[in-house]
Amino acid sequence: NLLPIGQNLNGEASTANFIRKKQIYSNSDYQTVQRFLAENIENDFWGEEKIVQRALFLSELAYNNIWSFGSPE
Contact 1, 54 (CB under 8 A): yes
Cα diameter, the chain: 50
Instruction: Answer whether 0.85 is exceeded by the pTM.
Output: no
pLDDT tens for the chain, 73 residues long, are 688 898 999 999 999 999 999 999 999 999 999 999 999 999 999 999 999 999 999 999 888 888 766 655 5
